[in-house]
Structure 1
Amino acid sequence: MANPAGHDTLREVDLDRFFRPETVAVIGASDTPGRPTTLNWGRIRAWAERAGARVYPVNPNKETVDGIPSLPSVLDVPDELDLAVILVADAMGALEQVIAKKARFAVLFAAGFSESGQEGEERQRRLEELLATGGVRLLGPNTNLNAFESFRDDLPGRPIALITQSGHQGRPVFQGQEIGIRFSHWAPTGNEADLESADFIRYFADRPGTGAIAAYIEGFKDGRTFQLAADHAARRGVPIVAVKVGRTDVGRSWAKSHTGHLTGADAVVSAVMRQYGVTRVDGLDELLDTAAMLARSAPPRGDGVCVYSISGGTSAHMADLLTAAGLRLPELTPDTQVALREWIPGYLRINNPVDNGGHPTGDWRGRRILDTIVADPNVDVLVVPITGAFPPMSDKLVDDLIAVAATTDKPVCVVWGSPAGTEPAYRDALLGSSLPVFRTFGNCVTAVRAFFEYHAFARRYRSGWGGSMDLGTSPGAGAARALLVPGAVLPEHRSKELLSAYGIRTSRDILCTSATEAVAAASSLGYPVVLKVAGAELPHKTDLGLVQVGVGSGREVREVYARMVERAAAATSTPIDGVLVCEQVSGGVETVVGIATDELFGPTVMFGIGGVSVEVYRDVTFRVPPFDRDEALRMVREVRGLPLLLGSRGRPAADLDAVVDVVMRVQQLARDLSGELAELDINPLVALPDGAVALDALATAR
């Protein structure tokens, strides 16, 4: 588990020496035909020579490998060693020699470590202990040799840097080179016994010109370092697009068996990605297309999308998908529409989407139309779906699109719908350009939405690390800490004391141990009141009939008190603390605010629509500290039940500022008591038009 109070900075790793070494040793190099090590030796040697490095084969059973003198041991390498690639079965023995050689980096190709069960986990533990004895940085184990691929430098646009925990899952992304998408690096991190995704995110974000980072992640070695790395990339303005497996129980179990990582609660993983502007996608095709869109496109000035095609049906289909995704299709300005009507017949739509009917595409009018659309101030992205190849008209359209894209920094997105993909207009022209090109409507919509969302995030982002959100320790932390008993559940009245120590408003409650006390308490609070049994062993009191709302008289208080005590005795053998007599708060919207301890990210703050059905509807969202007030407000606004808080069916709107105040105070509580508090549940927190009141709470100590 990540240490919630631990490291707040990323470690320094000079990965230049990994990707641009001066000396490389390949342990287990071979030139015997048909051997896997022969193929791997050849790949590494070619990569090292392209990098200008000296490469040494290490194999005690051979005098030469491909005509190069073979060394009996890595200790015999005559130079300082930057990179050692271990291909032999005795990985631990080879690594011991690499450490003795004081190499800077090593790659461990072998599998059979934490991805392979209990024995493998023990092997990886010993491996990590061995690494701790020396200064070598290790990539792997259970990794492929994809870092040593051939990277084309003849492709346009800013490059994508690729990180994958599975080499095979990265292959279809890396093959984007074959359709004109440029890549600069590929880091296959495997089990991450040492080097992890966060190290490479930081390195790639710091490299000038990186257009985007694409990642296939099965699990995080450390949730904290992922937060720090994502923050680093956000501050550098480098977008990250990621596939993160583990959405389902099956996916989580396979991710564990594959890489040995904890996968984390998926809802928390998604929340952390939103918090740091990481675009999460589902498919490898989406990963490639979205990363390419972000890498190739300048930041937008606004959020307007225009659809242009030769078919009304095509335009309507694409417009539906874009609108359903929450994207805005503004009307073109009157001046633009007047200009377009000169070239487009009067029976066709020109206000957005724009339908030219086909014929203008094949002559001089096509370019005039495109120039006019991209000049419109309401247009920030142009989407052009071409549902089929129809040369020569489609050839002319593609030429015009490429030409007009060269005159603007507004993205011109093209969807080439032909299933063949062999047409010269696509294969030679579009793929040789720097335009964002897609094969499906869905991937185009996903990428355009991610484009706007990322740049909206980038404009507002303020890092929470490095002291800018250091809230210090609350004056109430000492009083709150004194309430916690290790491993114990605090009953409601004690849990509310915890909240009060942090300035969170609670209902007025009086703990009573007799019916007579309860009547007196109700009279002092004013009728009607709420009665609840108080006891740590009764967390779900409503389900047990141990809560009564609307108690309106002294006689009724006595009756309810007696009935509740009897029911509590049947429900638990543990003595109860008494019965709480509580003021009844009417109106408002029931919400829930809480703290959970995530296995990867540590203390995690939850907000959602609350009440007795919270576990049914699960309309909740999460954030991991640190986050600011604006982020807390976004958290509140992203629940599906937001219309209830904004006022619906004539009801007054809730005081969102007060709700955000509670979320921020709960965050402070989570940070102050991260080592002592395991869980906190405020349900319901009633959001009123003029404040927010905690009506129930339950805290659990670690």
Structure 2
Amino acid sequence: MRPLSRFFSPGAIAVIGGGAWCEAVMCQCRATGFAGPIWPVHPKKAEVGGEPAFADLASLPGVPDAAFIGVNRELTVEMARRLSEMGCGGAVCFAAGFSEAVSELADGDDLQAQLVAAAGEMRVLGPNCYGIVNALDGVALWPDRHGMSPVESGVAVIGQSSNVLINLTMQRRGLPLAAVVAAGNQAQTSMSDLGMALLDDPRITALGLHIEGISDLRAFEALAARASALGKPIAALRVGSSEQAQAAAVSHTASLTGSDAGARALLRRLGIAQVDTPSELVETLKILHVTGGLRSARIASASCSGGEASLMADIGEIAGVTYPGLNDAQSSGLRTALGPKVALANPLDYNTYIWGNEEALTATFTALCEPGADLGLGCVVVDYPRGDRFDAPDYDQVLRAIARTREATGTPMAMVSLLAEGLSETVAQKALAMGIVPLCGMGDALRAIRAAVVERDGRNAHPEPVTLPLNGHGTARVFSEAEAKAMLAGVGVRVPGSARASSAPHAAESAAQIGFPVVLKGEGIAHKTEAGAVALNLATPQEVAEAAAKMPAQSFLVEEMITGTVAELILGVTRDPAHGFVLTLGLGGILTELIRDTASVLVPASREDVHAALGSLRTAALLTGYRGRPAADLEAVVDTVMALQTLVQTHAGALHEIEINPLICRASDAVAADALIRMEE
């Protein structure tokens, strides 16, 4: 494929079409600073957007490096073919009515395939997208307003919604936006392709993604690996956690959104920071732009108000940041700077004794953020007064003191406002110029700090690729519990000793052979407990026969009774076409749906991943020993998970779902007491 760098930074541009959109592209391109030739192409108009028009592509005085195709969908295909044949670097396909519209237009998929074939080696952006704004080189193949200004370096943002991108460019929080790109349908050029090309530009410091669906999982893994190799972090805002959002994404982008649990597990696996709101995305990208990512969520906070200090503590706890206690060096330095009347703590209320004294402010912040504190970020809470009503030279003293603290300690520093409007765009830009992160709004700021943590051993990399569900779309059936357990036992999962029985007397005979006590289950029933199809701790053949006679079942499974339970877990694997196989671990048994204490990872997960997932459960203490209770054999639990993953990988082409519930965790082993497998033959 032709390099995207030529498309992103063209020397000459062609604009095909004569409508208002095309005139807007020409206007925005000039307004953004493009100084090269712009060649409008229209068969009937003498001029478009104030420039002389050419009747066709063959009449152009040269080969364009980039083009905006602003004609109907059928003609878009023909224009892409001709541009490719003449050697154009890339084209924005503005028209809709391709794969995103298959529910309304039966030929949408076919027309998109024709577009890809017509483009050949030429890069195609879209279809159904606005294009690109490159504020580094003054290029705007973009048929609408945008709020970007020239920058020498900054972050790039790629999204699948052009309107969301427009709104992000209008932010007034000081984020230096170097480029925004609308990926559209990703018919040929994916979000991952775009991201890798942008990150290769040394002027791009970090990447933001607005994701409605991941069309190519392997390419997305490659993007994460490339970002890791370049040391440039990625933050992602992904939609699709609600049923309504998933439906909208399918109709809008022709992408698979997949499950929310799968998406979160994928981003976490690849070291991509996930945020939940556009504001958090902007604040996180500011941190990544200035710092390259934080080494930890350990922060120190200083404010001149006890109320602000309390809010930092409360909101920070919810957000997942930590405030380490003061060490001796911090306490000594703060006492020297503040005197005896100020209570020393982190978050710190330094009162107003030193307000207006830049030296004292610097000494206070420097003592709080001294290198021995091992902080990920030092924060100073400050909201500037309204600029339209007040001058605030004393507030600039705080800003300078923060900058001096960063220089003296080497600790990354941020100024945090209580409300988003507490830091104007002018103040935010001034802070960025000093190497300080301006974080607008306390809640967004603290969540962004947690999201921006970069692990010490690198991010955006994982030793193994995700196991992909293969193209198995046949009819799946639910295997009987006995069949499911036989498959699990075949890969090393410990299951109870058992026998199948076709009648109540047969069940009693089987129980005697297994040895009492036993469990009796009616076969062919999904939710056995609710249906009265489970009987526990049966001690005699007569009890077994009587229990079988009461069950709404024609056949039975007789099993040894597993005793000595420490905890019950659920292990489940579901097939997620967008993200791979999602492995969920959590509190099991009949309380699973009520408590909803689970963690999810993707297959294959390492033993370390599994240990971390188990440790993240709210009920993890049940496994490790709680109030004198024995601990479960955690290694046996992890062994079970690893064996389960082996089964998944072996049958990736046919498997739809596996569930072990409960996995009975004991002090010496872990036993799959019940199991379900849904799989194609």
TM range (shorter): 0.7 to 0.9
Report the alpha carbon displacement of residue 340 of structure 1 after superposing the two structures with TM. 1.9
Following TM superposition, by how much is the alpha carbon of 1:214 offset from its aligned partner in structure 2, in angstroms?
A: 0.9
**Structure 2 partner of 1:220:** 214
**Residue 271 of structure 2 is aligned to residue 277 of structure 1:** yes
Q: Which residue of 2 aligns with 1:458?
A: 458
Match of residue 623, structure 1, among 592, 597, 601: 601
> What is the match of residue 412 of structure 2?
411
Q: Are 1:91 and 2:76 counterparts?
A: yes
Distance (whole Å) between structure 2 residues aligned to residue 515 and residue 420 of structure 1: 74
Say whether residues 1:649 and 2:644 are aligned partners: no
Whole-angstrom distance in 1 between the partners of 2:422 and 2:434:
15
Shift of 1:23: 4.1
Distance, in Å, in 2 between the alignment partners of 1:83 and 1:387 is 44
The verdict on how the C-alpha distance between 1:120 and 1:215 changes in structure 2, with shifts beyond 3 A counting, is farther
- Encode CA deviations 1:211-269: one digit per residue, 9 max, x unaligned: 22111122222344334433443454322212111221222222233323232112221
1:573 is aligned to: none
CA contact (8 A) 2:126 2:187 kept: yes
Counterpart code for 1:450: A
2:491 matched to 1:487? no
Aligned residue runs from structure 1 range 425-574, under 5 A: 426=427, 429-430=430-431, 432-452=433-453, 454-455=454-455, 458=458, 462-465=462-465, 487-534=476-523, 537-564=524-551, 567-569=552-554
Partner of 2:55: 72
Q: Determine the C-alpha separation between the residues in 1 that align with 2:248 and 2:66.
A: 31
* Aligned equivalent of 1:136: 122
| 2:307 aligned residue | 313
Cα 1:701–1:462 change in 2 (3 A) is: closer
Aligned equivalents of 1:130, 1:273: Cα separation in 2: 31
What letter is aligned with 2:550?
A: R
In structure 2, relative to structure 1, the CA distance for the partners of 1:254 and 1:315 (3 Å cut) is same
Pair 1:580-2:558 in alignment? yes
Q: Which amino acid aligns with 2:41?
A: V
- For 2:175, the equivalent position in structure 1 comes to 181
Does the 8 Å CA contact 1:190/1:259 hold for their aligned counterparts? yes
Give, in whole Å, the separation in 1 of the partners of 2:553 and 2:105: 50
Deviation per CA, 1:403-451: give whole Å up to 9, x if none: 3223443221112347765879836743543311122110111121122
Q: Is the 8 A contact 1:619 1:640 kept in 2?
A: yes
CA deviation string 1:169-224 (max 9, x = no partner)? 12343345x65432222211122222221212222344435322111122222344
* TM-score of the pair, normalised by structure 1: 0.85
State the shift of 1:128 in Å. Answer: 2.0
Matching of residue 230 in structure 1 with residue 236 in structure 2? no
**Equivalent residue number for residue 347 of structure 1:** 341
Could you say which residue in structure 1 is the equivalent of 2:380?
A: 384
- Contact kept? 1:590, 1:684, Cα under 8 Å: yes
Q: CA deviation at 1:643?
A: 2.4
Q: Does the 8 Å CA contact 1:198/1:229 hold for their aligned counterparts?
A: yes
Paired residues in the alignment total 656
- Report the counterpart of residue 9 of structure 1 in structure 2: none
2:163 is the counterpart of 1:168: yes
C-alpha deviation, 1:108, in angstroms: 0.7
462 and 272 in structure 1: CA distance in 2 versus 1, 3 angstrom threshold: closer
Which residue identity does 2:518 align to in structure 1?
Answer: V
**SS of equivalent residue, structure 2 residue 568:** strand
Which shows bigger deviation, 680-689 or 375-384? 375-384
Q: 8 Å contact 2:173–2:423 — kept in the other structure?
A: no
Does 1:393 find its partner at 2:397? no
8 Å contact 1:486–1:676 — kept in the other structure? no
One-letter amino acid matched to 1:499: L
Alpha-carbon deviation of 1:682? 1.2
Aligned equivalent of 2:5: 16
Opposite residue 648 of structure 1, the aligned amino acid is Y
1:56 matched to 2:39:
yes
What is residue 97 of structure 2 aligned with on the other side?
A: 112
* Residue ranges of structure 1 left out of the alignment (5+ in a row): 1-11, 472-480, 570-575
* Contact 2:421–2:440, Cα closer than 8 Å, also in 1: no
Give 1:370 deviation, angstroms: 2.1
Shifted more, 145-154 versus 607-616: the winner is 145-154
Q: CA deviation at 1:487?
A: 2.9
Equivalent residue letter for 1:253: A
Match among 12, 19, 42 for residue 27 of structure 2: 42
Distance in 1 (CA, whole Å) between partners of 2:240 and 2:293 is: 32
Q: CA deviation at 1:40?
A: 1.4
From 327, 347, 364, give the equivalent of 1:369.
Answer: 364
| Letter matched to residue 661 of structure 1 | D
Q: Provide the C-alpha distance between the structure 1 equivalents of 2:530 and 2:2, rounded to a whole number of angstroms.
A: 54
CA RMSD of aligned residues (A): 3.1
Secondary structure of 2:372's aligned partner: coil
Question: Tell me, what secondary structure is at the counterpart of 2:121?
Answer: coil
Aligned to 2:647: 669
Q: Distance in 1 between matches of 2:412 and 2:616?
A: 28
Is this contact kept in 1: 2:151–2:178, CA < 8 A? no
Match in the other structure for 1:608: 586
Q: Equivalents in 2 of 1:444, 1:67: separation in Å?
A: 45
Give the % identical residues: 29
1:407 and 1:387 mapped to 2: Cα distance?
24
Which of residues 131, 152, 177 in structure 2 aligns to 1:145?
A: 131
Q: Pick one of 595, 598, 611 that aligns with 2:573.
A: 595
Structure 2 letter corresponding to 1:442: G
- Counterpart residue identity of residue 415, structure 1: V
Q: Distance in 1 between matches of 2:335 and 2:194?
A: 52
In 2, are the aligned partners of 1:647 and 1:653 still within 8 Å (CA)? Answer: yes
- Tell me the amino acid that sits aligned with residue 337 of structure 2: W
Alpha-carbon distance, 1:287 to partner: 0.7
| Structure 2 Cα separation of the partners of residues 419 and 618 of structure 1 | 34
Comparing 261-270 and 297-306, the one that deviates more: 297-306
Q: Displacement, 1:639?
A: 2.8
Residue 676 of structure 2: aligned partner: 698
SS of equivalent to 1:585: coil
Work out the CA distance in 2 between the residues paired with 1:29 and 1:148.
Answer: 23
CA deviation profile, 1:127-174 (whole Å, cap 9, x unmatched): 223413533331112211343554889758x62111011122123433
Distance 1:98 1:127, change over 3 A: farther
Counterpart-to-counterpart distance in 2, 1:499 and 1:102: 57
Instruction: String of CA shifts for 1:375-419, please: whole Å, max 9, x gaps.
Output: 241151211111454944322112211232234432211123477
Q: Is the 8 A contact 1:160 1:183 kept in 2?
A: yes
Residues 420 and 441 of structure 2 are in contact (CA less than 8 Å); yes or no, is this contact kept in structure 1?
Answer: no
Shift of 1:79: 4.2
Q: 1:377 to 1:677 in 2, by over 3 A?
A: same
Looking at structure 2, the residues matched to 539 and 223 of structure 1 have their Cα atoms a distance apart, in angstroms, of 33
* TM-score of the pair, normalised by structure 2: 0.88
Query: SS in structure 1 opposite 2:589?
Result: coil
Residue 259 to residue 368, structure 1, CA distance change in 2 (3 Å): same
1:336-375 deviation per Cα after TM superposition (whole angstroms, max 9, x unaligned):
3223212313231223222222131312322222222222
